[in-house]
A and B are shown apart, each in its own frame.
Chain A
Amino acid sequence: MEGTISIKPLLALGTSALAALLILLTGERRKNLREGWTLLASVIKFSIVASMIPAILQGKTLEWTLVELFPGVSFQFRVDSFGLFFATLASCLWIATSIYSIGYMRGLQSASQTRFFFCFALALHGALGIAFAGNLLTLFIFYEILTVSTFPLVAHKETEEAISGGRKYLAYLLTGATLIILAMGFTYTLSGNLNFKAGGFLKGHGTDPLLILIFFVFIIGFGTKAALMPLHEWLPTAMVAPTPVSALLHAVAVVKAGVFCVLRVILYVFGPQLLAELNLWLLLAYMASFTILVSGMFALAQDHLKRRLAFSTINNLAIIILGASLLSPSGITGSIFHIAAHGFMKITLFFVAGAIYVKTHKEKVNELDGIGKAMPVTMASFAIAALGISGIPPMAGFISKWYLCLGSLEAKEILFLFVLLGSALLDIAYFVPIIYHSFFKKPTGDPFPQVDEASLWMVAPIAICAIGSIVLGLFPNAIFHFFEIATLSAKNVLGVP
């Protein structure tokens, strides 16, 4: 497939890099201007990304090569349907998060806000670079930018707990990254190539045991970021970060980038054919299933709201990996679509957790009795998103789960159907009590005032994301053709016309 040369990917990346620089230069003294940069950059970046959608839907790929890094591998951006899917999601939710984080950070009068917004822009830069990367090495460059720029965000509060959370985060992710270097080295030595190709490029190189080894080194490497159990430990710990960080980075950019990379390896490096030949897909599906069920049970046991959400994230990330590893058209479509569906819904949930924290400083699930009366819009959004994640129509979660279930039938593995259904039950078990208690139970401590929502800066993004997850469920193509792009990617990967 020949790519069309286009400077748009570079422009989109340049926007966030420039924004990061401007934020740093503007500094603490002119707050409004600094936040202005964030908002402006997120809107511009999103428009550039969105303007690439028509070309992609026509089946083109957009390319921009900067410089050759070594023979056969360039510093290259190549936007295909899968990359654009992730980029659209990340950049669209960046707008919502920017608005929200302004409300959140000012509401809490947090320190070092310049560092916060700088690192935030840089992290988005990394996420977009991962989406647009045309080969493993470019992807890895942005992967590391994302890793390093998130460390100050996790450690933002500068407390003992925050710093140790940051350390843990780095320890896990940098170890993963070194393994990726090793796996890339093997891949390059075997094939002399690192460029992504729909359907994989490793087929026909190397011996089977070696390929299996490379595959697992890749999965362990990228799996740390995707919080695949037992490599998930950093994610709940990283919840000490301010909520906008947890929301965007731990529901969308960072962990989704991890999943995105895993899917790139499965579908674009190894490819369905090779994985089927080596029977690796089944092994990966079992690993993912294990994570799905265990993390669902862990989530039940969490009393801290954000930690419960973190385990729910781990659960859903594994669902995405499970879907892709089924290697069937519906499975891959559902898995890719779930990246967006889960993104919209989980960000709503995190936003709600943050709004509650800013307003009442409550973080525990059992302290939320009756809060629905005080914050009706917030908690209604929570209910929508939570039910959506459990897979209840008409929210977006239903569509992806439906396709994932179809995928497991297509793959003729009935076991995974039960895993998916079991996980939906677990979702309900850990979300519904929160919804029930917040609306129908009397508060135990001080009664909440009549209606006392957080500032509009925070409520608006919450409501928009909640509505977004309904719209995405009812009209999956209405928002930026998410479903169509997901189907297109699945077709490309499987080579179906």
Chain B
Amino acid sequence: MSHLPFPILIIVVPLISAFLMILLGWLRKSLCYLLLIFVLGITTLSSFMILEEVLWKGSIHYRLGGWLPPWGIEYVIDPLNGFVLLIVSTISLIIGITSKPMVEREFPERAIYFYCLYLLQITGLLGIVITGDLFNLYVFLEIASLAGYALIAIGEEGAPFASFNYMIYGTIGACFYLLGVGYLYIESGSLNMADLTKLLPGLLSSKVTLIAFAFFSVGIAIKMALFPLHVWLPDAYTYAPSTVSTLVAPLTTKVGAYVMIRVMVNVFPPTFFTETLPAALLLRWMAGLGILFGCLFALAQKDLKRMLGYVLIAEIGYIAMGIGFGNRNGLTGAILHIMNDGLMMACLFLFVGAITLKGWPRKIDQLQGLHQTMPLTSAAFVLSGLSVIGVPPTCGFFSKWYLVLGAIDAKQWLSAAILLASSLCNAILFFRVIEKAYFGKAGNEQRIERPILKRDEAPLIVLIPLWVLTLGVISLGLFSGTIISNIIHLTIPASF
């Protein structure tokens, strides 16, 4: 089989460019942004080609250095990670385009290092998704996390502390994951996922395997900010610079969710976490509590960005709950929600970035008159907010629909009730903001310096990507049937 070298390009190009970025920054600072867009363009294109090839010809196995698995590192792309790969690279490209004005406004002197870290972050995330090797996954996990700590620390006052906090949590999570890898290696002698899939069914009774699974689960749960291991998230994403939170909020947690699906459903036999261990039960409980907790805490927030942080925790709960149902509909909903939530969160955080760019405060009760000065930006917020609530035909409805079906199939009535109650809670959350932005009287005392009714939209370089994401939020819902039957159904193991 002769493959085009896209699987390796998608990792190597951003990795090398990250270091070139520093050199280029010394020569000519203005070119850095162009290099970023160029590299992200290549990764998006490659991920698109990869997914197309996977869908046409089946899984791709790319052996690094020609070493045969299970000894060498292998990149394996099946429909599941091909799909996640496309989501990660597309969203990172769209967010990358919008980064320029925000970087110039918030930290122009650190632009070069920002772009370098941005590429490292993307390398890490893409690497986590593409690799077929558990230890290699750890390496990329650390690359992504370290870049993330640094990116978040660039932010406003409070960011270094939030980043430090995140680092401690993140490191514990990564250690747990690594311990899991170690235990599994002791027991099976292999690190290759495909190899482990074959070996593990015979080793399930061993206590070492059980411990490995436990370490994996907790480590990944920290990385994906699953309640109650979410504590690092609200601070980190609130204090991070706008463009960083727009990048990491939709992607990092989703990639964590992908790893959870990969490990629980693919590497270990799917029946292991549903039947052998009460892991699925535990996951559902954590997810359910997380959804409620995220929604309720979001209600208590006055800062829009922090509110979105808690909404994100609830959204992670949806994905975890979908996995926890351990059936076809639930997993479909979870995988679909990885895409939908990525889009919605990118859209919402980008909205916050756009209004910050125009000097608006992030306090919810100071948004009066926003729709008059920034009509298009606020319309995008309304639409993506409706999607989080789960109003059809936006995409958020469809993932919720599959999750509800999953709950019914699994006969988890409490979970179904939580899912539905949370969408009501989200309705309160978002209509509270919409009401302020649209129906609050304009020109209140805090913002007298801005003349009423004068248009002052975000620059096109932000507005167009924002609307591309919004249109995605609206239209991908209607095409979810196509996406599910062509991609997601291929990713679900036959036993479900």
Contacts and interface: CB of A to CB of B under 8 A. Distances in A.
Interface in B376-432: 386, 389-393, 397-398, 400-401, 404-405, 407-409, 416, 420-421, 423-424, 427, 431
A67 B392 contact: no
B456 interface: no
Q: Which of B392, B393, B421 has most chain A Cβ within 10 Å?
A: B392
B423 A185 contact: no
A163 B435 contact: yes
Interface residues of B, number: 33
Contacts of A184: 401
B441 A158 contact: yes
Interface residues of A, number: 34
A152 B392 contact: no
Given A152-B438, A185-B405, A185-B408, A174 B424 contact: yes
Contacts of B398: 69
A307 B167 CA distance: 60
Contact of A67 (B390, B400, B482): B482
Nearest to A189: B408
Interface in B421-469: 421, 423-424, 427, 431, 435, 438-439, 441
B481 interface: yes
Interface string A164-193: 001100100011001101101110110000
B67 interface: no
A155 interface: yes
A245 to B, nearest CB: 15
B439 A67 contact: no
Interface string A137-158: 1001100110110011001001
A495 interface: no
A185 B479 contact: no
B279 interface: no
Contacts of B480: 69-70
Contacts of A67: 478-479, 481-482
B478 A182 contact: no
Q: Which of A67, A74, A179 has most chain B Cβ within 10 Å?
A: A67
Q: Is the interface of A mostly helix, strand, loop or mixed?
A: helix
B424 A178 contact: yes
Given A67-B482, A75-B478, A148-B386, A141 B408 contact: no
A123 to B, nearest CB: 14
Q: Which of A71, A182, A184 has most chain B Cβ within 10 Å?
A: A182
B139 interface: no
B49 interface: no
Contacts of A186: 408
A98 B392 CA distance: 27
B478 A181 contact: no
A69 B435 contact: no
A148 B416 CA distance: 23
A178 B420 contact: yes
Contact of B405 (A69, A170, A174, A188): A188
Q: Which of A69, A75, A148 has most chain B Cβ within 10 Å?
A: A69
A158 B436 CA distance: 11
A141 B386 CA distance: 12
B427 A69 contact: no
B393 A141 contact: yes
A186 B400 CA distance: 14
A125 B480 CA distance: 23
Given A68-B482, A137-B392, A181-B401, 6 more contacts: A148-B386, A158-B441, A174-B424, A179-B420, A181-B400, A185-B405
24 contacts: A67-B478, A67-B479, A68-B481, A68-B482, A69-B478, A69-B480, A70-B484, A71-B485, A75-B393, A144-B391, A152-B439, A163-B435, A163-B439, A170-B427, A178-B420, A181-B401, A181-B404, A184-B401, A185-B404, A185-B407, A185-B408, A185-B416, A186-B408, A189-B408
Interface of A: 66-71, 74-75, 137, 140-141, 144-145, 147-148, 151-152, 155, 158, 163, 166-167, 170, 174-175, 178-179, 181-182, 184-186, 188-189
